[in-house]
Amino acid sequence: MMSNRYWMLADGPVPRWPQADTFVLKEGEVPTPGPGQALTRTIYVSLDPYQWNYKRRNNEPVGAPCHARTVSQVIESRMDGFAAGDLVFNTNGWTEYALMGENVWGPAYMIPRKLDAAQGRISQALGVLGLLGLTAYAGMDLLASPKASETVVVSAASGGVGQIAGQLAKRRGARVVGIAGREVKCRFVTEELGFDICVSHLSATLPADLAAACPAGVDVYFENVGGPVFEAVAPLFNRAARMSICGLIAHYGDDDGADTVASLMRLGEPILKERNVTATSYSVSDFLDHQDEMLAYIAPLLAAGKIKYREDIREGLEAIPTAFDDMLRGDNFGKMLVQLSPDVTLGQV
């Protein structure tokens, strides 16, 4: 009988931020698929900031593997439309094997789907060609709609969503200012992604640095962070500016039950109200009907090298907690993934 290893939350209160004993590694039997189900082996696990907020709000079944979006391969299927060998996007979580299909827990909008390796690397289904790509497309193109010559600021600019959002704004002719961390990330944002300038949130003079980078003010802000980064951006808003609130990683360790978006809006209310700034907090689940539209636009650009996308891929199930902590702290460089098993599309065995 094959064994299945997985990470779950340890018993007891969930801390503000992950600690060394926050997650526990478990081992059990590989599940057997029932009617309408398929057994899948996880290839890539996606680690994203929202997952910590998700865990702190008790949105996962007790005793279940930690939630995550995944790319997997079907091992055995009793599920219509899926066969052994198929590569799929699903939500196995932090585990080597899991079921998908009927009576399997998972966010309702994250529906399993087959992947076409001809569209791009299968790992990109967890990033630029998946819900992260749709998140960037929705927040930048559909909500903010930057115009040529406007100034767009993107926080977490080298991260999984930020790097896409900024490139989409550049394609609309905007002047794009990134906010990232280490110097190597800022160079990547300008030299590889094509942003006009990038400032470091690690700088002791961030507000002044950002003001110098935005001499004409800010027309669009793509918000991934909150906290001091938002405080540096807010005074620069022009009248009728637009802000798409994608994430607030700086606040995911706030007190349980805190409404992080409401807190942010209260903080910025005087400026947002006085300058008539449109601030929109959104969820990718509200834009699922634009998935095909997004793919039709972004996939050809990605294939032609006109959109760049960087991944930070760690190896092995044991690496997940450390990689997750690195991602939350900004110590990743690109979209954070952990690979658990061979990727047959890359010739791995």
pLDDT digits (tens, 9 = 90+) for 62-93: 889 999 999 999 999 999 999 999 999 999 99
The residue type found at 317 is L
Range in 53-62, 145-154, 171-180 with the lowest mean pLDDT: 53-62
- Asked if pLDDT for residue 119 goes beyond 80, the answer is yes
Q: Residue 129: which of 283, 282, 296 has the closest Cα?
A: 296
- Asked if pLDDT for residue 321 goes beyond 60, the answer is yes
- Asked if pLDDT for residue 258 goes beyond 60, the answer is no
- Asked if pLDDT for residue 254 goes beyond 90, the answer is no
Q: How many CB atoms lie within 10 A of CB 149?
A: 10
- Asked if pLDDT for residue 261 goes beyond 50, the answer is yes
The per-residue pLDDT for 259 is 65
Tokens of 97: 């094997």
What value does the mean pLDDT take over residues 214-235?
95
The per-residue pLDDT for 251 is 64
Average pLDDT in the chain? 93
Q: Say if CB 308 and CB 9 are below 8 A apart.
A: no
For the chain, how big is the Rg over CA atoms in Å?
A: 20
- Asked if pLDDT for residue 139 goes beyond 60, the answer is yes
Q: Domain locations in the chain?
A: 3-124+309-346, 131-285
| Spatial distance between the Cα atoms of 283 and 131, rounded to a whole number of angstroms | 10
pLDDT digits (tens, 9 = 90+) for 100-113: 999 898 887 789 99
CA dihedral 79, 84, 85, 87 (to 10 degrees): 10
The per-residue pLDDT for 257 is 47
Say what percent of the chain tops pLDDT 70: 97
- Asked if pLDDT for residue 262 goes beyond 80, the answer is no
pLDDT digits (tens, 9 = 90+) for 154-188: 999 999 999 999 999 999 999 999 999 999 999 99
- pTM over 0.85, yes/no: yes
Superfamily classification of domain 3-124+309-346: Medium-chain alcohol dehydrogenases, catalytic domain (3.90.180.10)
Tokens of 74: 């079907």
**Band of pLDDT at residue 15, cut at 50, 70 and 90:** confident
Burial 294-314 (b: 16+ CB within 10 A, else e): bbebbbeebeeeebebbbbeb
| Spatial distance between the Cα atoms of 339 and 349, rounded to a whole number of angstroms | 13
Tokens of 161: 């969503």
| Matching residue, tokens 């998140």 | 135
The per-residue pLDDT for 349 is 77
The per-residue pLDDT for 1 is 61
Q: Quickly list H helices, the chain.
A: 50-56, 131-137, 162-171, 183-187, 206-213, 227-233, 260-274, 291-303, 320-329
The per-residue pLDDT for 110 is 86
What's CA 282's distance to the chain center, in Å? 14
Say what percent of the chain tops pLDDT 90: 79
| Spatial distance between the Cα atoms of 243 and 66, rounded to a whole number of angstroms | 31
What value does the mean pLDDT take over residues 140-167?
97
Residue 78 φ then ψ, to 5° = -125, 30
More confident residue, 141 or 227: 141
What value does the mean pLDDT take over residues 21-45?
96
CATH code given to domain 131-285: 3.40.50.720
SS3 201: coil
- Of all residues in the chain, what percent are helix, strand and coil, respectively (each to 5)? 35, 25, 40
Which residues are CB-neighbours of 203 under 8 A, at least 6 positions away?
209
| Spatial distance between the Cα atoms of 28 and 12, rounded to a whole number of angstroms | 21
> CA–CA distance from 238 to each of 74, 138, 191, 199 (Å)?
51, 22, 27, 19
- Asked if pLDDT for residue 331 goes beyond 70, the answer is yes
| Matching residue, tokens 């400026």 | 271
